[in-house]
Amino acid sequence: MKKQLLKLAACGLLLASVNAYAQTPTKTFVVKAGEVKAPIQSTMWGVFFEDINFGADGGIYAELVKNRSFEFSKPMMGWTIQRKEFKEGDVLVLNRQQTNTANPRFIRVTATNAEKGSLSLTNEGFRGIGIKKDLRYDFSVMYRQQTPGVKLNVELINAKGDVIGSTVVNPEASASDWKKATVSFLATATEPNGKFRISFEGNGVIDLDMISLFPEDTWKGRPGGMRADMIQMLADMKPGFIRFPGGCIVEGFDLSQRYQWKKTIGPVEERQLSINRWNFEFAHRPAPDYFQTFGLGFFEYFQLAEDIGAEPLPILNCGMSCQFNTAEVVPLDQLGPYVQDALDLIEFANGDVNSTWGKKRAELGHPAPFNLKMLGVGNENWGPQYVERLKIFTKAIKEKYPDIKIVNSSGTDPNGDRFDYLNTSLRSMKADIIDEHYYRRPEWFLQNAKRYDQYDRNGSKVFAGEYAAQSDKTVSVNNRNNWLTALSEAAFMTGLERNADVVFMASYAPLFAHAEGWQWTPDLIWVDNLNVIGSANYQVQKLYSINKGTHVVPMLLKNEAIAGQDSLYASASLDKNTNDIILKVVNASGKEQQSEITLEGVKKLAGKATLYQLSSEELDKVNTLGNPPSIAPVEKQLSLKGKKMKLSLAPYSFSVVRVKM
């Protein structure tokens, strides 16, 4: 404990906690429950999803076969050919670029007197395949007969090489054009690091493409859908919005690699693969097998938003690629198609079923509109080049859809020349919402709990679109989702809530990471092939989100906002739906602190309150995969005397109290 405090003192953090063992007098907090201030937007706490860290392919998109369509830069990446006897050209990669630009490659397999096991293809999955005993798996393949006579033995393999599930596919002899075969079969054992194999039997020549395997237990049981355990973690947060699909992948390394939503809808075999920019972004975390199949595309994102009750917030490329990479920009006179993509997206989401894009949405199975209300133009773009492009987008969007709110970039950092330039320009343009990003150390979060107290109350609104406390430094591989980072975020978030008249939205970033495939840390939710764990930071985000409240009410210490006095941070809200007063209090010091809370301005209280407290005296504690979370809320009942309540604030704790009125 002492060592921990010295460490904190050394980095200038939690100054008030150095004298950890001295008793501080009981703090008297006053909650002015009758002074109802700004409404808290329903979008206040949301999530930001990007295909980074194998978040989509290899993550929430439940496809288990890697490189199912042979479109990776190396066509056979992820696949191994086993054969008893080498025969030149028995597995050929064919490219029909001239006739199918979206899905040019397929393979041609020639089997000659093949017995089971003499010629097979094994897929390694995304860092292995997680297989669950007694679960059914849906196999599908597109095939075309050249010379009928080959049958396919489809098998799940465990780490020892044993078969733990199998089925047989007898392709139709008459299928001289592409046909889809589907079959589902049962796994007989659980395996975290399995493989998938097709063994060819017989004599013949067959073409194969889109070799696919999905677990049957996808989110909402949708075939070809999403990994249910990961989506459940989002649903549990009850997020107010979901921002997608990025992040830097929106911008792309160059403009040819930018995210283009129109290429992500419709039949999956027609969605053109693109390299994922996180494939090669960090030399220290290379992921040469990271591509975007877009099996999870814009229709699925909208559907996901609807499923989890979150407002969709798509982000579109603004005619600029990543300025850290190539910094390509589209000439202004050629921005038209980019702007049109934005207008068409709004029509795709909201348009009548008789409109061009509304019709497409209906054909995909969703005639009702998705009710899109906001749209982001650009991710972390900056400079005058951004502003001039943004103005063109804004004019076109507002002319046609005046009610759509536009989310605008303030660049990569929450201060400095670039930020100041954008912040000033955007505010003079009367931008709807400005997206601020902060990847900073924990002490920054504590010191900035008052950041928004001074913001213009009547100007543009703020979206804290990407933030995460870095236990080391940005893009360091040593960053951990430890309790210190989560606690400092909780403290900072009291400032977001207190300023809900300025801050309309906030989301942690990034959202998901695969333990074997990440490029960026820290991340909110960690997964492996079979397990999911919410980090300490997730616990904080979830507590905020499910205890949002509808209106801010003042919570004061000696008549001042509570933002660092004796390492305490607090905010309060009223929930008009449940008639609860909700308090959020962070004790960022290593000493227990006692408080007495008076609720002023209420007629009557029910005499009871519920406390949810996260705490740990080990600031470097993390929640780990495969174990129950060590940082998780502890629930307690509290009683009130009249309008007063005692609340004991454990060392390094975040408390949420719901008081029934």
Residue numbers annotated as active site: 380
Reduce the DSSP state of residue 136 to 3 states and report it.
Answer: strand
55 vs 204, beta carbon nearer ligand AHR: 55
Q: Which of 557, 541, 421 is nearest to 492 (CA)?
A: 541
Strands 241-244, 163-169: pairing is: unpaired
Minimum CB–partner distance for residue 278 and ligand AHR (Å): 8
What's the rounded Cα separation, in Å, for the pair 518 and 508? 17
Distances (CA, A) of 9 to 19, 20, 298, 446, 522: 10, 11, 47, 14, 23
411 vs 651, beta carbon nearer ligand AHR: 411
214 vs 520, beta carbon nearer ligand AHR: 520
Does 90 sit near ligand AHR (CB under 6 A)? no
Minimum CB–partner distance for residue 81 and ligand AHR (Å): 36
- Interface with ligand AHR by CB under 6 A: which range of 82-90, 98-106, 244-252, 630-638? 244-252
Does 248 sit near ligand AHR (CB under 6 A)? yes
Q: How many chain residues are in contact with ligand AHR, going by CB under 6 A? A: 12
Query: Contact 643/581 with Cβ under 8 angstroms?
Result: no
Per-residue binding string, ligand AHR, 26-65, x by CB under 6 A, is: ------------------------x-x-------------
Does 414 sit near ligand AHR (CB under 6 A)? no
410 vs 567, beta carbon nearer ligand AHR: 410
The DSSP result for 48-69, as a single string, is E--S-SSSTBTTTB---STTTT
Of 259, 520, 526, 544, the residue at the interface with ligand AHR (CB under 6 A) is: 520
293 vs 412, beta carbon nearer ligand AHR: 412
Minimum CB–partner distance for residue 247 and ligand AHR (Å): 3
194 vs 378, beta carbon nearer ligand AHR: 378
User: What are the structure tokens assigned to 63, written together?
Assistant: 């496809």
What's the rounded Cα separation, in Å, for the pair 194 and 41? 45
Of 57, 344, 347, 380, the residue at the interface with ligand AHR (CB under 6 A) is: 380
The angle that helices 336-350 and 298-307 make with each other, rounded to 10 degrees, is 40
What's the rounded Cα separation, in Å, for the pair 487 and 510? 17
Q: Which residue is nearest to ligand AHR (CB)?
A: 247
Does 379 sit near ligand AHR (CB under 6 A)? yes
What's the rounded Cα separation, in Å, for the pair 321 and 249? 9
Does 509 sit near ligand AHR (CB under 6 A)? yes
Does 378 sit near ligand AHR (CB under 6 A)? no
34 vs 286, beta carbon nearer ligand AHR: 286
Of 246, 376, 378, 495, the residue at the interface with ligand AHR (CB under 6 A) is: 246
User: What are the structure tokens assigned to 168, written together?
Assistant: 């047989």
**Residue 442: how many CB atoms within 10 A of its CB?**
25
Minimum CB–partner distance for residue 53 and ligand AHR (Å): 9
The angle that helices 383-400 and 417-428 make with each other, rounded to 10 degrees, is 30
- Interface with ligand AHR by CB under 6 A: which range of 71-79, 140-148, 240-248, 309-317? 240-248
What's the rounded Cα separation, in Å, for the pair 112 and 90? 9
Does 486 sit near ligand AHR (CB under 6 A)? no
Minimum CB–partner distance for residue 633 and ligand AHR (Å): 26
Q: Which of 519, 516, 515 is nearest to 535 (CA)?
A: 515
Distance of CA 278 to the CA centre of its chain: 15
Euclidean distance between the first and the last CA atom of the chain, given in angstroms as a whole number: 39
What's the rounded Cα separation, in Å, for the pair 196 and 166? 10
Does 466 sit near ligand AHR (CB under 6 A)? yes
- Interface with ligand AHR by CB under 6 A: which range of 104-112, 246-254, 351-359, 449-457? 246-254
Residues 6+ apart with CB under 8 A from 174: 145, 148
Contact residues: ligand AHR, CB under 6 A: 50, 52, 246-248, 379-380, 412, 466, 509-510, 520
